[in-house]
Amino acid sequence: MKKTLYKRICLTLFYCMATVSLLLSACEKDELSPPVITEIRNYAASPADTVVQTLQAAQWVVVLGQNLGDVSQVYFGSIPATINHTLLTDGSIVVQVPSIPFDSVARDKVNIVTVVNSSGSASFTINITGAPMISHVRNYAAAPKDTVVNTIVPGQTINIVGYNLKKATKIAFQGVDASLAGVIYTDSSVIVKVPGSFTGADPLLANKITYGTAVDTTEYSIRIFDPAILEYYKDPVFKLLTGGIGKEKTWVLDLDAKGVSTKFKGPLYFSGVDYGWDNQCSKTGGDCWLYDPNYESWMGAAQDYGTMTLGLKSETAEPVVKVSQKGISKSGTFSGSYFFDVKTKTMSFINVVPLNMGRDQVYAKAYVISLKEDRMQLGFRDPVKSEMAIYNYIRK
């Protein structure tokens, strides 16, 4: 009896050990191997499913390799991508490249794709690019003269530092293109020569570098000082407008809280679109009618609408404008700059809306109708009708 029981116990132990052995063997067989990346292809139908050398944000790609079916994370430049597990197989992962904040990612991690599973990870180096970004500008010179600069001048060679700057399609200063022929690229910067003249500059791009690549275009603000501009700002018209270089003038609408105008019939006139400088028709046979009414309540309430101060900074003669707008929905204090075109007698306002009475006009560009020591008229085009609203200002 005892012998039989002993045999049964031994047989049971044998089966248990065999079962454990089989289970351990199965676990060993099921244990995941670390992933492997062999290449990255464009996610598209053949023949567009080519191997890619450069990746961009929002691009769909196929990561090819081994042991990819159980990948839990995919990183592009250390930024995690969103994984759709239905698009994973053992040999491939279909995934969209995420948006990458290049200025926040370590430079040695920017061009790395990493996949992770429970057994390990694999990395793959590939160029990951995006829109160009400019962080700062340096003078191009041997140390210690290679300093960060806040002002650049015509003909200066500079080092633009940032991200995704290679293969520029356009580098312009105030709208004037620099030559790309002599451009030198490094890993994180581009060496370029500022144009020697800013003839034909766009006033709306004053103090801006425009940098374009095949991916996108960006703008960077920096003081661009042209010594030749000093002579331009010595024109007598600027003395009427601002008082001269290093000075400023404050203008108000010719209307007080009692509805009284002192220099004009009222604060607001209307005219045809060809009515221009010195109250003359700018085009023979043009649309040059003028309606110059006394103040009436439909123009706007009789009140203080605020001030507009126009100036030219000393030394650099940088045009500056400050508007303290009152009594309308877009009230507040605003600062910006302007460009006065002496030849065409027009003014462009940059990052600021000139003092107005709240009407729906195109305020970015003004047509100077008249300008004297103590009074000024600026015409603004109506966005719908073929006419201008002429605002009448007086010196405060």
Q: How far apart are alpha carbons 72 and 55 in whole angstroms?
A: 21
- Mean pLDDT, rounded, of the chain: 90
Give the mean model confidence (pLDDT) for residues 360-367. Answer: 94
User: Phi and psi at residue 13, in whole multiples of 5°?
Assistant: -60, -40
Residue 66 has pLDDT above 80, yes or no: yes
Task: Output DSSP code: residue 51.
Answer: B
pLDDT for residue 257 is more than 70:
yes
- Going by pLDDT thresholds of 50, 70 and 90, the confidence category of residue 395 is very high
Pairwise CA distance, residues 278 & 309, whole Å: 22
> In terms of DSSP bridges, do strands 208-212 and 217-221 run parallel, antiparallel, or are they unpaired?
antiparallel
The C-alpha atoms of residue 360 and residue 362 are separated, in whole angstroms, by: 7
Q: Are 266 and 294 in contact (CB under 8 A)?
A: yes
Angstrom distance (rounded) from CA 87 to CA 234: 68
What tokens does 315 get? 């030394």
pLDDT of residue 69: 93
Token pair for 174: 């105030």
pLDDT value at residue 230? 80
Which residue intervals of 31-160 are DSSP H helices?
none
d(CA 395, CA 289): 26
> Does the pLDDT value for residue 20 go beyond 70?
no
17-21, 56-60, 90-94, 273-277: segment of lowest average pLDDT? 17-21
State the pLDDT at residue 103.
Answer: 83
By DSSP bridging, strand 346-350 and strand 388-395 are: unpaired
Q: Which helix H or strand E contains 171, and what residues bound it?
A: strand 170-173
Range of weakest confidence among 142-156, 251-265, 309-323, 329-343: 309-323
Compute the average pLDDT of residues 306-311.
97
| pLDDT at residue 5 in the model | 45
Q: What are phi and psi of 157, to 5 degrees?
A: -95, 125
What are the tokens at 214? 């095949």
By C-alpha distance, which of 255, 251, 241 is closest to 357? Answer: 255
12: amino acid identity, one letter: T
Q: The dihedral of CA 329, 333, 334, 339: what is its sign?
A: positive
Phi, psi of 310 (to 5 degrees): -110, 135
Chain centroid, CA 115 distance in Å: 33
pTM for the complete prediction? 0.60
- CA-to-CA distance for 364 and 354, rounded, in angstroms? 8
Whether residue 12 has pLDDT greater than 70:
no
Q: Which amino acid is at 92?
A: S
Averaged over 72-81, what is the pLDDT? Answer: 95
Residue range 211-219: mean pLDDT, rounded:
95
